[in-house]
Structure formats: structure tokens, C-alpha cells
């Protein structure tokens, strides 16, 4: 067996330990005589899996009791609609557009109400986070929406926007559990898990209880109401059971690693190795304003599309895969999520140095 260093933006690398454990438990989960894939989501065994996963996530993020944790389906993209359907009581929301995912969320919300784009960084290909200290927040806005880490462009909010008292809603798909967060600053935190937590097919929504009401937009399907899932503890219908089980294992792995403070240190250390190299390289350049750099997604270019392609190809041959940048940005992108070991980044940088010498 040989495993590569996988720099995919998502679905992405998972801790090897977790995969090994899942493999060991594949045929017979803890004496149940069956795989987690085969068991009833109403069984006692499964109830323990989902309850433990929720508790571990609560411990890791220090989630207060007045927030619900929901394990849902439909990916992060389903939330682009679910959020306005459930939260637009006045029919107004403010969106900060810092990349494609925020833009898609804003466009989707426009179907359901007045979605104001109150700031954007599209003028410079989303290479920075705009100053959000004094934005024209709408008086009747039901919420202010951000995408906290922009997976495609490699930017991250270093400070949350001043929402002037309005509820903050954040898509954290690509920075979920990468560092500690103060949950109380948000009304809703959500993310697809396939970037930093588990297998595609699960989206986790952490939502303050007062935002969960029956007062939703007319016609909102039962399955798209937060209340449906909150009332049923994420077991209204069959949840993505196996995916939640793997998420639970990743939560336990994170606890063992020392929790989110330790993860932050680990991620800062990893990202620094790559950014320090980019800052001194003659050939490779980071594409993001230093003050807005993400710890998770690091886009870079040589400035020459042919050379970029050559690099991506040779890197893959050397065991560093999925480094091709997003089709809208070009160049390269190294996604270095929680489960990417430090030596993966060290070896990648060594490879980049060698490539630079050979192609100078
Ligand atoms: C990947 C991604 C999405 C889309 O996720 P899906 O689960 O494929 O819908 C949305 N937002 C961000 C920040 C992402 O990285």
C-alpha cells in the first residue's frame, strides 16, 4: 500500500488513524456483528454513535447549551437556500461576497428575499478580505452572511465583521475545527464536512435556538426546516449515518491531538513553512494579500501557465497530488487541512525548491 500526500481542496485528506480504525470496524462494529453502514439509525448502537459525536463536537468547540447541533444532508450548498428560507423573517439579509461560495449563497438568497451585497473583494479576484469594521448594515437585515474561509481563493477573515448587532451566519466549510472559535458570536455556523472533518454527504449546522422557529418562508419543505431536524435530534429521517460515524472518529482524533488550540498551532506551523517559502521564492508567488491568508488553502502561481502545468504534473509523479488550482484562478493550490501532516508540507516545499532550481 502506498499513500500519497493529498492536497485536494475537498473531498480531502483524513487522518490515517481514523481510516484504519474504520477499516478495522468495517465488518463488525464493536461486537454488533454488522457494519455501521448496515445498522438501523434507530438502534441503540447507532444512537450512541451520533450522541457521542455531538457531545465531542460540543466539547471541542465549547458550544453553549442554547445552540443546537444538526447533522444534515445536501452539502454546504443546500444551506445557501435553507438559511434564507428559515431566517428571512423581514425578507432582508446582507451578504459579504469574498469568493464564489459567498457569491453563490448571495445569488441563492436573492430568490427568497432582498439579499444586499454590502461588500465584495471581486475587484481584485477575491484576493483579500474587505474591511468589515463599518459596513452599511441594513436596518431590517435578518442576518449578515459571510464565508469565513474562502476555499478557492485562499483568504480567511482574521476578524469577524461588525454586524452592528445583527445575527452573523458563517459558512466555515473549509476552516471547520482548524482553530478555536467563539460560538456565541454567531447565530449560525455551518459547513460541509468533506473539507476538514469527514466524508462528503454530511453538513453540520450549529444554530442558536431562538433562530429555530416555525415562522419560515411559505412553501419551505419540511426537510428544509431547521425545526424539523432540531426537534428530532437529526433523526427525522435516515441521516447520513456512516458519514456521521466517521465525523465522530475525527472529533475523537482531534481531542486526542489536544483540541482546537493545538490544531491552531499545528496549522500555523504548517502554513508558515509554505508561506515563508513562497515569500522568498523567485519562481512561486502566493496570490493572496498577506493579511488575509488562509491557514487551510494556499494558492500560488509561477506566472507562466505552461510552467504551472509542468509543476503540477511532476509534483503528482513525485507523490504530491491534487495541486492544480481552481479552474477560475489557475496556477496551484495546496490545501493543508488538519489531517495533512507537517512532513507533507516540508516535503512539498523541498520539492518546490528542487523544481525551482531545475527550471530557473
Ligand atoms: C466546498 C465548499 C462549499 C460547497 O460544498 P458542497 O458540500 O459541495 O455543497 C461551500 N462553501 C465552501 C466554503 C466550500 O469550501
Q: Report the nearest-CA residue for atom 8 of ligand 1.
A: 75
Relative to the CA of 152, which ligand 1 atom is closest? 15
Give the model's pLDDT for residue 360: 87
119 CA from centroid of ligand 1 (Å): 20
> Is the C-beta atom of 76 inside 6 A of ligand 1?
yes
1 CA from centroid of ligand 1 (Å): 30
Relative to the CA of 78, which ligand 1 atom is closest? 9
Q: What is the pLDDT along the chain (360 residues), one digit of tens a residue?
A: 789 999 999 999 999 999 999 999 999 999 999 999 999 999 999 999 999 999 999 999 999 999 999 999 999 999 999 999 999 999 999 999 999 999 999 999 999 999 999 999 999 999 999 999 999 999 999 999 999 999 999 999 999 999 999 999 999 999 999 999 999 999 999 999 999 999 999 999 999 999 999 999 999 999 999 999 999 999 999 999 999 999 999 999 999 999 999 999 999 999 999 999 999 999 999 999 999 999 999 999 999 999 999 999 999 999 999 999 998 889 999 999 999 999 999 999 999 999 999 998
- Give the C-alpha separation, 109 to 130, whole Å: 21
Cβ-defined contacts of 35-43 (< 8 Å, 24+): 36/241, 36/242, 36/245, 37/241, 37/242, 39/241, 41/235, 41/238, 41/239, 41/241, 42/235
Residues recorded for the chain:
360
In 3D, which of 257, 358, 271, 334 has the Cα closest to residue 18? Answer: 257
- Out of 11, 72, 76, give the residue to mutate to test ligand 1, the one with the largest number of ligand atoms within 8 Å of its CB: 76
In 3D, which of 132, 133, 136 has the Cα closest to residue 146? Answer: 132
111 is catalytic: no
Half-sphere exposure of residue 65, counting CA atoms within 13 Å on the CB side? Answer: 0
Give the model's pLDDT for residue 305: 95
Catalytic residue among 56, 68, 94, 101: 101
31 CA from centroid of ligand 1 (Å): 36
Contact partners, residue 232, CB within 8 Å, separation at least 6? none
200 CA from centroid of ligand 1 (Å): 10
Q: Report the nearest-CA residue for atom 3 of ligand 1.
A: 76
Strand order in the sheet with 67-72: 67-72, 203-208, 188-192, 168-171, 144-147, 92-97, 114-120
195 is catalytic: yes
> Is the C-beta atom of 294 inside 6 A of ligand 1?
no
Q: Report the nearest-CA residue for atom 7 of ligand 1.
A: 75
- Give the C-alpha separation, 235 to 229, whole Å: 7
Which H or E element spans position 204?
A: strand 203-208
Specify the 3-state DSSP secondary structure of 102: helix
**For residue 6, what are the β-bridge partners?**
321
28 CA from centroid of ligand 1 (Å): 33
> Is the C-beta atom of 195 inside 6 A of ligand 1?
yes
Q: Report the nearest-CA residue for atom 14 of ligand 1.
A: 173
Give the model's pLDDT for residue 130: 98
> Is the C-beta atom of 173 inside 6 A of ligand 1?
yes
Angle at 153 between CA 149 and CA 154, to 5 degrees: 50
DSSP E strands in 60-139: the ranges are 67-72, 92-97, 114-120
> Is the C-beta atom of 101 inside 6 A of ligand 1?
yes
171 is catalytic: yes
> Is the C-beta atom of 180 inside 6 A of ligand 1?
no
172 CA from centroid of ligand 1 (Å): 9
199 CA from centroid of ligand 1 (Å): 13
Give the model's pLDDT for residue 230: 98
- Out of 72, 100, 101, give the residue to mutate to test ligand 1, the one with the largest number of ligand atoms within 8 Å of its CB: 101
Amino acid at each position: 500500500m502506498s499513500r500519497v500526500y493529498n492536497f485536494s481542496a475537498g473531498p480531502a485528506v483524513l487522518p490515517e488513524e481514523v481510516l484504519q480504525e474504520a477499516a478495522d470496524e468495517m465488518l463488525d462494529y464493536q461486537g454488533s456483528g454488522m457494519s455501521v453502514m448496515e445498522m438501523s439509525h434507530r438502534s441503540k448502537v447507532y444512537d450512541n454513535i451520533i450522541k457521542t459525536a455531538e457531545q465531542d463536537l460540543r466539547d471541542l468547540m465549547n458550544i453553549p447549551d442554547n445552540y443546537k447541533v444538526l447533522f444534515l444532508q445536501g452539502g454546504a450548498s443546500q444551506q445557501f437556500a435553507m438559511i434564507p428560507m428559515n431566517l428571512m423573517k423581514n425578507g432582508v439579509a446582507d451578504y459579504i461576497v469574498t469568493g464564489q461560495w459567498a457569491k453563490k449563497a448571495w445569488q441563492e438568497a436573492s430568490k427568497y428575499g432582498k439579499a444586499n451585497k454590502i461588500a465584495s473583494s471581486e475587484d481584485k479576484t477575491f484576493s483579500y478580505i474587505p474591511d468589515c469594521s463599518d459596513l452599511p448594515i441594513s436596518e431590517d437585515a435578518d442576518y449578515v452572511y459571510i464565508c469565513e474561509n474562502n476555499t478557492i481563493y485562499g483568504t480567511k477573515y482574521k476578524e469577524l465583521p461588525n454586524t452592528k448587532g445583527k445575527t452573523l451566519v458563517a459558512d466555515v466549510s473549509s476552516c471547520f475545527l482548524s482553530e478555536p472559535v467563539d460560538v456565541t458570536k454567531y447565530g449560525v455556523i455551518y459547513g460541509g464536512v468533506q473539507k476538514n472533518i469527514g466524508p462528503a454527504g454530511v453538513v453540520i449546522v450549529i444554530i442558536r435556538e431562538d433562530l429555530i422557529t416555525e415562522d419560515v418562508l411559505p412553501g419551505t419543505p419540511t426537510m428544509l426546516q431547521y425545526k424539523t431536524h432540531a426537534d428530532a435530534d437529526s433523526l427525522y429521517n435516515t441521516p447520513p449515518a456512516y458519514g456521521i460515524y466517521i465525523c465522530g472518529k475525527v472529533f475523537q482524533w482531534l481531542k486526542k491531538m489536544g483540541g482546537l488550540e493545538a490544531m491552531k498551532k499545528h496549522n500555523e506551523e504548517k502554513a508558515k513553512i509554505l508561506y515563508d517559502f513562497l515569500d522568498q521564492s523567485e519562481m512561486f508567488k502566493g496570490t493572496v494579500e498577506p493579511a488575509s491568508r488562509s491557514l487551510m488553502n494556499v494558492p500560488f502561481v509561477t506566472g507562466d501557465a505552461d510552467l504551472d502545468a509542468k509543476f503540477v504534473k511532476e509534483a503528482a509523479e513525485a507523490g504530491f497530488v491534487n495541486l492544480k488550482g481552481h479552474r477560475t484562478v489557475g496556477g496551484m493550490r495546496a490545501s493543508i487541512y488538519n489531517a495533512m501532516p507537517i512532513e507533507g508540507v516540508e516535503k512539498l516545499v523541498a520539492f518546490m525548491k528542487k523544481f525551482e532550481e531545475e527550471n530557473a
